[in-house]
Amino acid sequence: MVKDFDLILNLTQYLSNTIEQFKEFIKTDRNIKEEVVQEIISSLTKIVGSSLKYYNIELINEIKNKNSIC
C-alpha cells in the first residue's frame, strides 16, 4: 500500500511539473531571449514524452552542440 501511495505521489509531482513547464512554454508575455536548442528539445520532450512512449515513438536527438537561437 505504501508503494501505491509513493507511485501516486510521484505521478502527481510529475504532472504538476509538466503543467508548469507547459504554462511557461506558452506564455505570450515572455521576452525574446537566446535559448539553447538542446534545452528546448529537452523541455519539449518532457512535455510530450509520455505520448511518444504511448505510441512507441522513439525520439532520436543527435544535436551535439550547444548552439543558441533567438
Q: What pTM was estimated for this model as a whole?
A: 0.45
Look at residue 63 and tell me whether its pLDDT is greater than 80.
Answer: no
Q: pLDDT per residue over 45-59, tens digit each?
A: 877 888 888 899 998
Q: Which residue has the higher pLDDT, 65 or 10?
A: 10
DSSP helix, strand, coil percent of the chain (3-state; round to 5): 60, 5, 35
Q: pLDDT per residue over 17-35, tens digit each?
A: 888 888 887 876 766 667 7
The answer to whether the beta carbons of residues 39 and 66 sit under 8 Å apart is no
Quote the percentage of the chain above a pLDDT of 90.
6
